[in-house]
Structure 1
Amino acid sequence: MSPDPFISAAAPDEPLALYVHWPFCVSKCPYCDFNSHVRAEIDNAAWRAALLSDLAHEATLSGGRPLSSIFFGGGTPSL
């Protein structure tokens, strides 16, 4: 697989940051334009497996560069 163009364009010593989005909300906020979904239940095992798979894939594209920060976002912000 070819490297991610955004990672390849960065200088080798430029730190990488990771954003992990949680798209499941208690309610959909009227101002929200993000990928989000209101669900009665979430299959946590399937979600965890997909997240870990995606993280492993992205790690192969990073060339072993370390992360300088990890951000978590999404969900209903008032909770």
Structure 2
Amino acid sequence: MGRGGHEGDGEASTAWIVRFWNVAPTPTQAVIRLAQRPAAVFYANLKEEAAEPIALEQDGRFRIRAGASAIVTLKLYR
């Protein structure tokens, strides 16, 4: 899909890529709340392709998990 699509990973996509790094030697979780509710959030691979969807709560918050010393890449659609 092109602009606005959740499956298309082309340059016309309206997605943001966000990366987190868990510096701890143990797995962790976080709750994220942005100023504007995203339309959809996915874990993404290092090629920035959407993979596993992340559930959005009613107020737009979402929870992520990160393995020990892991980098987590998210793809957020507006």
TM-score using structure 2 length: 0.24
TM-score using structure 1 length: 0.24
State the structure with bigger RCO (CA 8 A, min sep 6), 1 or 2.
1
Higher share in helix: 1
Higher share in strand: 2
